[in-house]
């Protein structure tokens, strides 16, 4: 039997940011990846401190941004690359009223660090009311982050490229197949519905699609543009446009209605020809109160769940991976806001 401190189940943001905490702490661990592209690998990678519909911010936004920068600097020491793309979001205003609202919100204590009031007029896209820049916003280079992190984990002997089979788990003895573990952290995203120990946690799937497109006239800069959806360059040829939100269509596979919504949105923003190269989709694990879920199984307290990252997988995943490792390793209580216990009678 091989002894490990941790088994991580999953390979999305929750799992990889948790793995980073274990690397930092010098723990012995393995990570199970079933090799499917989950929500994280189809995500846009946007790091954004502002809710762009109403121009509000959210709980711990500044702390989460600062913590992400620290983590990405730490990860760069072993993968050799910092995956943060320092290109900010430019929110294209729908009308004059939105500009005014932005100006008003920019004067509040919460929003003044984030809402830039030097409005811009952008070339090549339809923006008669101009655009406001979100300070401190950025993007993660999603493809490189996952490719490099997974190959680093493989090189170091942490990665097990197999589906975690719940029937091989003996929770009473803390063994899984030929492994003896101290703790398991389940980071399965919507895959949690198949987990007999945590299937009941209240995560709700929200399906999101994005398009990979080729623009006939490339944009002049690498900003992230946001009107209905996000548009930004992924590489020298392709652009990312997305994502949609849908709580009702939950079948596996792409939905024509989502593709149509995206094509229409892009046509409104970009008045030139474009070609759709790919349509991708994933399921965001969302929670009614918009807070992640961290906690352990009542019968087997060394089985933990880390889920419910919602639409902010990067910021939530990074920040709360540290919260969870501090809880498990140092007994630091979990904040009530994210504790699984908030849903238990």
Q: How far is the CB of 237 from ligand FAD (least distance, A)?
A: 20
Nearer to ligand FAD, 130 or 205 (CB): 205
Kindly indicate which of the ranges 69-77, 123-131, 254-262, 305-313 contains the residues binding ligand FAD, using the contact rule CB under 6 A.
305-313
Whether the CB-CB separation of 306 and 324 falls below 8 Å is answered with: yes
Q: Which of 4, 6, 10, 239 binds ligand FAD (CB under 6 A)?
A: 10
Kindly indicate which of the ranges 10-18, 20-28, 270-278, 297-305 contains the residues binding ligand FAD, using the contact rule CB under 6 A.
10-18
Q: Is 44 in the site for ligand FAD (CB under 6 A)?
A: yes
Q: How far is the CB of 104 from ligand FAD (least distance, A)?
A: 26
Q: How far is the CB of 49 from ligand FAD (least distance, A)?
A: 11
Closest CA to 20 of 86, 66, 72, 81: 72
Q: Is 32 in the site for ligand FAD (CB under 6 A)?
A: yes
Whether the CB-CB separation of 199 and 192 falls below 8 Å is answered with: yes
Q: How far is the CB of 250 from ligand FAD (least distance, A)?
A: 12
Nearer to ligand FAD, 213 or 315 (CB): 315
Q: Is 49 in the site for ligand FAD (CB under 6 A)?
A: no
Q: Is 7 in the site for ligand FAD (CB under 6 A)?
A: no
Q: Is 188 in the site for ligand FAD (CB under 6 A)?
A: yes
Kindly indicate which of the ranges 13-21, 78-86, 124-132, 264-272 contains the residues binding ligand FAD, using the contact rule CB under 6 A.
13-21
Nearer to ligand FAD, 99 or 228 (CB): 228
Q: Is 8 in the site for ligand FAD (CB under 6 A)?
A: no
Of residues 64-123, those binding ligand FAD (CB under 6 A): none
Q: Is 38 in the site for ligand FAD (CB under 6 A)?
A: yes
Kindly indicate which of the ranges 65-73, 104-112, 304-312, 327-335 contains the residues binding ligand FAD, using the contact rule CB under 6 A.
304-312
CA angle 160, 163, 164 (to 5 degrees): 85
Kindly indicate which of the ranges 36-44, 92-100, 108-116, 214-222 contains the residues binding ligand FAD, using the contact rule CB under 6 A.
36-44
Of residues 239-298, those binding ligand FAD (CB under 6 A): 242-243, 282, 284-285
**Token output for 251:** 């079948």
CA angle 6, 66, 293 (to 5 degrees): 45
Of residues 306-335, those binding ligand FAD (CB under 6 A): 307, 309-315, 317
Q: Which of 90, 210, 229, 322 binds ligand FAD (CB under 6 A)?
A: 210
Q: What is the 3-state secondary structure (H, E, C) of the chain?
A: CEEEEEEEECCCHHHHHHHHHHHHHCCCEEEECCCCCCHHHHCCCEECCCECCCCECCCCHHHHHHHHHHHHHHHHHHHCCCCEECCCEEEECCCHHHHHHHHHHCCCCCCCCCECCCCECCCCCCCCCCEEEECCCEEECHHHHHHHHHHHHHHCCCEECCCCCHHHEECCCCEECCEEEEEEEECCHHHHHHCCCCCCCCCEEEEEEEEEEEECCCCCCCCEEECCCEEEECCCCCEEEECCCECCCCCCCCCHHHHHHHHHHHHHHCCCCEEEEEEEEEEEEECCCCCCEEEECCCCCCEEEEECCCCCHHHHHHHHHHHHHHHHHHCCCCCHHHEHHHHCC
Interface residue list for ligand FAD (CB under 6 A): 9-15, 32-34, 36, 38-40, 42-46, 163-164, 187-189, 191, 208, 210, 242-243, 282, 284-285, 307, 309-315, 317
């Amino acid at each position: 039997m091989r002894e490990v401190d941790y088994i991580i189940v999953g390979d999305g943001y929750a799992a990889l940011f948790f793995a980073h905490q274990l690397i930092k702490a010098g723990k012995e661990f393995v990570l199970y990846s079933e090799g499917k592209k989950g929500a994280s690998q189809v995500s846009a990678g946007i790091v954004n401190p502002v809710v762009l519909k109403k121009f509000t911010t959210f709980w711990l936004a500044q702390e989460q941004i600062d913590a992400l920068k620290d983590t990405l600097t730490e990860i760069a020491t072993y993968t050799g690359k910092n995956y943060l793309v320092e290109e900010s979001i430019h929110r294209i205003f729908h009308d004059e009223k939105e500009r005014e609202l932005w100006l008003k919100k920019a004067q509040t204590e919460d929003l003044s660090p984030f809402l830039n009031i030097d409005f811009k007029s952008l070339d090549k896209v339809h923006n008669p009311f101009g655009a406001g820049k979100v300070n401190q916003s950025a993007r993660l280079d999603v493809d490189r982050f996952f490719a490099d992190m997974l190959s680093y984990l493989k090189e170091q002997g942490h990665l097990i490229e197999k589906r975690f089979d719940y029937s091989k788990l003996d929770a009473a003895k803390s063994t899984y197949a030929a492994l003896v573990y101290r703790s398991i952290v389940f980071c399965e995203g919507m895959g949690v519905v198949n987990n007999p120990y945590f299937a009941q946690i209240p995560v709700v799937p929200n399906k999101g699609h994005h398009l990979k497109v080729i623009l006939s006239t490339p944009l002049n800069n690498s900003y992230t543009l946001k009107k209905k959806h996000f548009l930004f360059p992924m590489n020298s040829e392709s652009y990312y446009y997305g994502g949609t939100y849908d709580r009702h269509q939950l079948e596996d596979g792409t939905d024509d209605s989502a593709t149509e919504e995206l094509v229409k949105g892009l046509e409104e923003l970009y008045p030139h020809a474009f070609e759709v190269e790919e349509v991708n989709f994933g399921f965001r694990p969302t929670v009614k109160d918009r807070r992640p879920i961290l906690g352990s199984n009542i019968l087997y307290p060394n089985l933990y769940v880390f889920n419910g990252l919602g639409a902010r997988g990067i910021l939530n995943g990074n920040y709360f991976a540290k919260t969870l490792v501090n809880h498990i390793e140092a007994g630091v209580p979990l904040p009530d806001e994210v504790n699984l216990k908030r849903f238990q009678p």
